[in-house]
Amino acid sequence: GPALAFPDGFALHAWRGMPIPAEFLAELGELTPARIREEENAELRRVMLEHYGYERYLEDSGAEPVQRDKAGVLWRIELEGDEPLVMVEVVNSTPEPDGTHRTYWLRVPPSTRTAREGVAWTFGLEEADYVPERET
């Protein structure tokens, strides 16, 4: 539903604070990787990716990992007319209550060459300076 609605029928829809067209919401349930790639508006494409799920998008797009190390797996997909989508797949070192380990997807700059470099970037560090003593 709308983020804001008035009695006169005016309504504003939003995704994480970004205004989006109401008709855009109707197509979110029918997204495909092709439709996401076709979207010209980078912000709407970002919303589509978040809704569709990065893991699902990578899988459905036939993406291949470009690099692996102890920090995680680096994935890259070229997007026509936009910067590449580069993500690091990481597994939480702390188990969930049921004993499983949750997977997270970190979007990193397109220039990222290694998973470790991408994880370091998320902490505002250079790869050489990322030396955790213990992960929690």
Does residue 84 sit in the same domain as residue 109?
Answer: yes
Do the domain assignments include residue 34? yes
Tally of domains in the chain: 2
Do the domain assignments include residue 3? no
Lookup: tokens for 58: 């990578």
pLDDT at residue number 45: 85
Do the domain assignments include residue 76? yes
The secondary structure of residue 95, as a DSSP letter, is P
Do the domain assignments include residue 59? no
- Residue 5 above 80 pLDDT? yes
Do the domain assignments include residue 5? no
Averaged pLDDT for residues 50-74 = 90
Does residue 73 sit in the same domain as residue 96?
Answer: yes
pLDDT at residue number 55: 84
- For the segment 115-127, what is each residue's pLDDT rounded down to a tens digit? 999 999 999 999 9
Residue percentage of the chain with pLDDT more than 70: 99
Averaged pLDDT for residues 15-34 = 87
The residue segments making up the domain with residue 25 are 13-52
- 3-state secondary structure at position 29: helix
Does residue 119 sit in the same domain as residue 68?
Answer: yes
pLDDT band at 38; cut points 50, 70, 90? confident
Does residue 32 sit in the same domain as residue 87?
Answer: no
Task: State how far the Cα of 94 lies from the Cα of 127, in Å rounded to an integer.
Answer: 22
CA atoms within 13 A on the CB side of 94: 4
Do the domain assignments include residue 57? no
Does residue 69 sit in the same domain as residue 136?
Answer: yes
Do the domain assignments include residue 100? yes
- For the segment 68-91, what is each residue's pLDDT rounded down to a tens digit? 999 999 999 887 777 888 999 999
Task: State how far the Cα of 17 lies from the Cα of 40, in Å rounded to an integer.
Answer: 20
Which segment of 15-19, 30-34, 51-55, 90-94 scores lowest on mean pLDDT?
Answer: 15-19
Does residue 68 sit in the same domain as residue 131?
Answer: yes
Does residue 42 sit in the same domain as residue 90?
Answer: no
Does residue 22 sit in the same domain as residue 80?
Answer: no
pTM exceeds 0.75: no
Do the domain assignments include residue 73? yes
Does residue 89 sit in the same domain as residue 25?
Answer: no
- Cβ proximity of 28 and 48 under 8 Å: yes
pLDDT band at 8; cut points 50, 70, 90? very high
